[in-house]
Amino acid sequence: MAHWMNLGQQLKMNAKNLPQTVALCDARRRFTYPEVNRRVNRLAHRLMEMGLKKGDKLAVLMENSIEIVELYLATAKTGIVIVPVNFRLVGPEVAYIVDNADAKAMAVHHEFTPCVDTIKRQLKQIPPENYIVVDQPKEGYRESESLLGGAADDEPDGQVLPSDTWILIYTSGTTGKPKGVVRSHESHIAFFLINAVDFGFDAHDVCMNVMPLCHINSTFFTFTFTYIGATVYIHPARSFRPDEILEIVEREKITFISLIPTHYNLILNVSEEGRKRDTRSIKKLLCSSAPVRKTMKTAIMEFFPGVALYEGYGSTEAGIVTVLRPEDQMRKLGSIGYESLGTDRVKILDAQGNEVPPCEVGELYSKGPMLFDEYYKLPEKTAAAFKDGWFSAGDMAQRDEDGFYQIVDRKDNMIITGGEHVYPSEVEETVGSHPDVFDVAAISLPDDKWGEKLAVVVVPMDASDITETTIFEWCRERMAGYKRPKQVFFIKPDQMPRTATGKILHRVLRESYADGEPVFPETDSCPAPEK
């Protein structure tokens, strides 16, 4: 029976049909499709020799690199499931994900080995010989390049079906514990093909990957170009220097980049030398993760004359649901566009599950071939996320008379800062565990650089001398940098706005602090207890 070919299988065909085309490159290396295919086949054989088989999990704690791309490709060829872990996480956060995923091997960039060394004893399912290190040798790890030496470079045996799981990627949960999102090969194949048509990509494109490959956005857009036989330039995710980015665009003749508003803001404030770079090769740009103001859109299109600007809305679970296309950027300012190609008509439902009329707010549900399969080991959360086969990420939205959608609010108060997703409950749990904190609410505030910045509103214990610095130091060793609050406000217990049932009104806090001096309603909150 014929099946759609997954990314690893398509790599084999690209190696045959595009022998001179550069598949992957970075600041130091360039590999053609045949070279990449041979390296990936060797890696696939070594992974299987380590005892990994179809369905087993390989955790990956790595910065953007050619090596992490090769691991994605090798797992696609073998049926092994890759588990990308955000390199910004700290030890306990990494340990939870790797253990929860039941990973049987782990690949790590050398700079992250100190973190992994502190948690190895907790990772009982990974044998000592199943740790791989990239960049330079490290005791207790198998060095990646030497691992490839002497390995067979023929195609690995085994049948990998489109319905098989390829990626298990974790996204922050409202309870503070991240959820494992199970995604199949076919959900990604659908995206690659839909993406190529929807955005008009072809084999002559040169994509620059800047977004971290531990995020689903990068797997969507980076691998679209690998699938269609184009060239991908891999750039470190933590090294976004606008002058350097524009120099690479000029040198490599980059045609497409996917960025977040924070990146665009940095580019628009580049040095005069950077402004002199020839960026005419850029044909298309994507902006995602946060809304883009009209002034920024105008500035982007002035900076890149003739560029086609796209905005995408989606989620780790649903893929890209809607696209705001170039011709609609100014006409539908604030909109997230309409359905991407191949996606069923988005539904906007009220609390009773009924579709709301145009211009009324409801919860956004979508359905299409890019949908995930389930939350790993969480059947109840999987069931709760769907309504008759339609998925909701918890966003509140409305549809205008022309069929364009607009996000009104995030149902779960998720914060997106610098492209990273942060949930208030996780931050509140950490800050609230300080003995001098009586109550706390995490909120987002507008920020020119990050789009949103994380702030916490703290009710201290009575007679406490807690300070902003105290909160910062408390969070430093307990959570990733992007999750830590950037600002702290202190209030009295009766100033915390609440519903009649005692729930904190995050929306009221956001609005109050965003507009200047906060004004809080009278409440019946209990006083803070003494230390």
6, 162 in Cβ contact below 8 A?
yes
Give residue-wise pLDDT tens across range 196-209: 999 999 999 999 99
Q: Is the pLDDT of residue 236 over 60?
A: yes
Q: pLDDT by residue (tens digit) across 15-36?
A: 999 999 999 999 999 999 999 9
CA distance 128 to 527: 53
Beta bridge mates, 440: 458
In 411-518, DSSP assigns E strands to 415-417, 420-422, 437-447, 451-460, 487-490
pLDDT in tens, 274-314: 999 999 999 999 998 766 777 788 889 999 989 999 999 99
Both tokens of residue 496?
Answer: 């915390």
Amino acid at 132: I
Structural tokens at position 237: 């995710």
| 91 pLDDT tier (thresholds 50, 70, 90) | very high
Query: Coil, strand, or helix at residue 169?
Result: strand
377: left (phi over 0), alpha (psi -120 to 50) or beta: left
Determine the average pLDDT of the residues in 318-333. 93
Decide if pLDDT at 525 tops 50: no
The answer to which of 184-198, 284-298, 326-340, 437-451 has the lowest mean pLDDT is 284-298
**306, 284 in Cβ contact below 8 A?**
no
Where is 299: in which H helix or E strand?
Answer: helix 294-303
| Residue 464, phi then psi, degrees to nearest 5 | -75, 150
Q: Is the pLDDT of residue 467 over 80?
A: yes
The structural domains of the chain, with segments of one domain joined by +, span 415-514
CA distances from 64 to 5, 56, 87, 244 (A): 25, 23, 10, 16
User: What integer is the mean pLDDT of 405-410?
Assistant: 79
pLDDT digits (tens, 9 = 90+) for 74-90: 999 999 999 999 998 99
**pLDDT tens, position by position, 92-133:** 999 999 999 999 999 999 999 999 999 999 999 999 999 999
Helix and strand numbers (H, E) in the chain are: 16, 28
Beta strand pairing call for 487-490 and 390-391:
unpaired
> What does DSSP say about strands 256-259 and 30-32: parallel, antiparallel, or unpaired?
unpaired
End-to-end CA distance of the chain: 70
> Candidates 3.40.50.150, 1.10.260.40, 3.10.450.30, 3.30.300.30; correct CATH number of 415-514?
3.30.300.30
Distance CA 316, CA 311 (A): 16
How far is the C-alpha of 146 from the C-alpha of 65, rounded, in Å? 17
Q: Is the pTM of this model over 0.95?
A: no
Query: What is the distance between the alpha carbons of residues 34 and 398, in angstroms, rounded to a whole number?
Result: 48
User: CA 451 to CA 460: how far, in whole Å?
Assistant: 28
Which tokens sit at 214? 């531990």
pLDDT value of position 176:
58
- CA 76 to chain CA mean position, Å: 20
Find residue 57's DSSP bridge partners. Answer: 81, 103
Helix (H) or strand (E) holding 69: helix 66-78
Q: Which pair of structure tokens corresponds to residue 423?
A: 């949930």
